[in-house]
Every structure is written in structure tokens, then in C-alpha cells.
Structure 1
Amino acid sequence: MAANVPSIVWSALRALSLTEVPRDSPVRRHSEGDKSYQPSIVDVAVVKAMLYRAKKLPADLIDTILDMAEYWIHTSTHLDERISVMGGSEARENKFLLRSYPLGLLNSGARQNANDQPYTTTLPTPRPLGETLDASFFAKSVKYPLPRLAHPARKIVFKFRSQDQGYVSSPEEGDHPYSGSWTWFDVGLERFDADAAVDGSALSVNSLRPVQPPIRQTSSDPVGYNYTHELLHSPEWEIQRNQTALRQWQDHVVTWSYLDDIPADSERSKALEAQGRGRGTGDGKFVRQLQVGDVITVWGKARFPGWSNRIESVQIDVYWAV
């Protein structure tokens, strides 16, 4: 549906008797041809203005129209690097891979200089989250409208190219494509800490604090913290498993929507498991609860000796309503 958004919106505008659309309007410009078109924040603003001008529609109704058309802003972050996550060693079996831009922002909003590590792939020292930055902070640092909704996220699309080690010790382990897999990807969540930022200043990646996975205080250092990772799959956080003992690169695309409504304990959730997805990820809760400024992360996982999560690329696309 999203691929045909410009045509849908253009048809709606004509149905509303809006006949005077500028020739270079983004709606006209993209109403035909490129099906991969993604609207910019300017495009969305223009369409909203057109809908209001045509019939003086209330803002809530305009928002509903754009939601039905999936005419949303989005950002994309990528990891294109061959990485292996190895099972059998606690130090190597959980690997941070990639983070999204903060929800509602078109880029990281983070300060970058020659000494900074890359925003999307740097894992800062874990520290506990205090007070979270709210939308008013981010509004001061950008020159475009931020989402008006408290929970504006609409869709997250995860893309993976990966494979496991390509073999198993027992033939029975390879009988089912996903159920016996011990290599997979988990979702994580970070938020900016208010105490680590000065009002109106640029953010640093070191201002991010983990929400998921959780952290715990180390026994040897009273001010030190480590990430806590479950040994087994976590149905609530598991995005996608690799197929078992498949030597070819696998491409998986997983979409989480705010409209998802599959309870974890339902029969329908079994279909998610059969596809290698976490049974608890189909209820849409994660997407619906995201706030402006939230950062989504992806972790690579492998468990037990001999298992290897071999990764070629990861991508996170985040869509939100303005």
C-alpha cells in the first residue's frame, strides 16, 4: 500500500475538487512513476495544507487520511560490514550492531567531530537512565516540525542479510528452518538522559542510556554497569532468527506496525514463530509506546559453541506521523 501513496493522495485531492495544484508540487511530481518514493517532511506539510485549503478539514481528520495512506516521514540507518557473532563465549555472543536516528528527527541530532565515533554503530559505556529528554528539547535543536503526538511512531522495518555457520552437528537440528536456530537478532531501546545534555545544545552519543537490554551494577566497581543479556531467545525482543544450517546468505525483512494486534499467547502468534520471529513481537506494543527522541537498536546474538551469526548488512527504517 505504501508504494502507491502519492497516487492515493493525488486521487483524494482531486476528489476534494482541489484543481489548482502547482505544476511542481511534490504530489504531482511523484504521483506517477517511482513506486519507491518516500515523502519528505516538506511533502507531508504541502499535502496537509492542500487538504485544509480544499475543504477546511480538521487537523485530526487530515492526520487520519495520511495514516490510512501511510504517508509518513521516515529515516534509515545502515550497517554494511561483515561481522561474526560467536556463540560459546559470553564476551562474544552479544554484539551491538546498529541504532536508528532519534524518533522524530531527520538525523542523529548528535554532536560529531573528528574525535567522535560514528553515531549509528558506537556503543557508549552503559549508565543508568535518569530523567528523559522530552520533545521540547528536540524542538529547540531542529528547524522543522516535530511530531505533535506523544506516540508518533507508525512502522519499523528491519532488514537483514545474514546466515549461520552453515552446518549442524546433528541432522535433526536442521529439520526445522527456524525452531532449532541459535543465531538471531534482538531489538533494543535507548533514550537521551537529560542530565547529560545542556538545554538547547547539541547531543552526544554518550548521552544515550539503555532501556533494553537492561543494565546491572558490577560487583567489582560500584559505579560500573554491564549489559544484561538473557541466555535463551526472548519472544518479546526477538526480531528474526537465521535459518538453520543454510550456507547461502539470507535476506529477511521484518515489519512492525502500530496497528499490529497479535497477542503473544494466541494461535496467530505461532505463525510468527514459524517465520523465525519472536512470538511476543506481533502485538504492536513496542511501536505504539515509542516517544519522540527514542532510539531503536539492533543486537546480533549467537549461543553455544559452534554457532555463528554471520552478518553482511543490517538496516533500520523508522516511520512516524507529523
Structure 2
Amino acid sequence: MSIKHSQKLALAAVTAVMVSAPAVKADGFDLSPEQPNRVHVERSGPAAKAIPDGFRFVTPGTFTVAVSPGGPPLATYATDAKTVVGADPEYASAIAETLGLKLELVPVAWADWPLGLTSGKYDAVISNVGVTEQRKEKFDFSTYRKGLHGFFVKSDSQVKSIVEPKDAAGLRIIVGAGTNQERILLKWSDQDVSAGLKPIELQYYDDDAASLVALQSGRADVIVQPHAQLVFIAERDKNIRRVGTLSAGWPDRSDVAITTRKGSGLADALSLATNELIRDGAYAKILARWRLSEEALPASETNPPGLPKF
């Protein structure tokens, strides 16, 4: 049997496992609809009082939040295939409780949230939305997590740490075509070459299954994807590990934020609510429960600098 044919069979096997196995199955993550260990908080007077008198919620007394169930650990369907669970839904629940409101989660396709928000279908979007200067023209933002990509390698890899461009010189790195991480790594490679080091070799695959096969087979050294996705895969597969993180706004920080309608007045109250969660420790507990402590912010900001237009 040829090597190429063997690789095809291996890819087919991995793909079959990924398709047939429950997408939510992974040790260490509670993806039950009941969520018995969900973090709960008390109402915060200052945050609730910061809601403008003229603001009208979609449903009185309820915080209506759109979320895209794109995958664990951020947001996915629970084992009952209908309840949305994950880090973002739990954070939305804590924000609602801080404001003294009930929570209604509205599952939406990622592409649909901007129109739904501007048309008033929901009060906010909590779905891993990154702050960008272009989005700030239409929306307000209250930050709640760092926007991070992760460097992950095979568990037995000789690569120990990737912090700066020189650490990646000469490595074969899997990255998505047209992504922000590809743009950053191309700049890293240019810096390495200018410093007399080897360039980074970027590799592109059609899907996660092909990428993971390439990593495990030794055809690639590193995979770079949004950090949360790889955290879940590492817990599920037990054969990859993190060796570094990369800010989505490298060399600057880029944050993920609650998104609200421009000028609605709700953003400051949501930033206050997040800062209350940070101070009382609930914020750290939520991130730790979903293995995302590396993405913790020291404080929430309203409409901070975002990714520039490219």
C-alpha cells in the first residue's frame, strides 16, 4: 500500500470518527443541559442602575442575547441537542443575574447576528465577537475576554514554547487561509528572514480532520487556530498540547466583547457588570470551568481600540 493511500485511509478514519462521535463529548467539560455547576451571582446595584432610563429591553425584565452555537467550549448544543451551553452562555447568564434580569438565549447563525442586533431582535450578542474599528462604526462593545489564537503541537513534540517570531523560525505551521493568524504569521516569517533565520512554512488543509492528521503524522509541527477550539480538541483527543498563545491583534491586544446597538447606552452598564464579576471572582470561575483562564482580562472596557481595517 502506498504512503499516499495510507494517508487517505487515515484521514477517512479520523473524519468518520469525528462525524459519528458526539461533537460535545470530551472529558472535563460539562455539556449537560442541566449545568449543575454553573456559576451564579447576586444582582449588582451599580451595574443595574447604569442601565439608561430610556433603554427598552426586547422583553421587559429579560436580557435577550444572541449566541452562535459554533462549537465547544464557547457555545454548543448540549447532550439534549437543543439547549445551548458553553462559556459564552454561562457568561451571559452571569451578566443577566448581575443586572437583575432573566436570560433568554437566542441561537443564531454567525452571519445573522449583525442584522438581528440592528433590527432589535435581541438586546446584545455574546458570541466571541472581536472588537474591530470597522464594527465600532455600527456597534458598541463591552470587552470580556482576550482574543487569542493558540499554538498547539503533538504531545511528544520537541517544540516547548512559542512566544515570539524567532521561536517559530523554520517550523511547519498549519493555519487557515485568509485568517488573521495567517496574516500575523506571514509578518513573523518576514521578521525571521530579516534576522537571518529560516522562514516559517505555512501549511493549509481543508478541515480540522485533515489538519490533525497532518500534525499527528509528523507532516506539520504546529497548528494555529482560535485558542478555545484547540483547548477543547486537546481535552477530547489527549494528544496535543499548548506551547503558546497569539493575540489576534498582535503586536497589540485584541479583545472579545459583548456587542450592542450603537448608541443604545447599554454598553457602559455591561462593562460595569463584567467588572463586578471580575472583582467578586465569578468571572475567573467561569473561565476556569471552561478551561479558558488564559483569556482572562484584568478589566472590562467600553469601546477600546479594535483591530484596524486591513
Shorter chain as denominator, the TM-score bin is under 0.3
Q: RCO (CA 8 Å, sep 6+): is it higher in 1 or 2?
A: 1
Bigger CA radius of gyration = 1
Q: TM-score, normalization: structure 1?
A: 0.24
Q: TM-score, normalization: structure 2?
A: 0.25
Larger proportion of strand: 1
Larger proportion of helix: 2
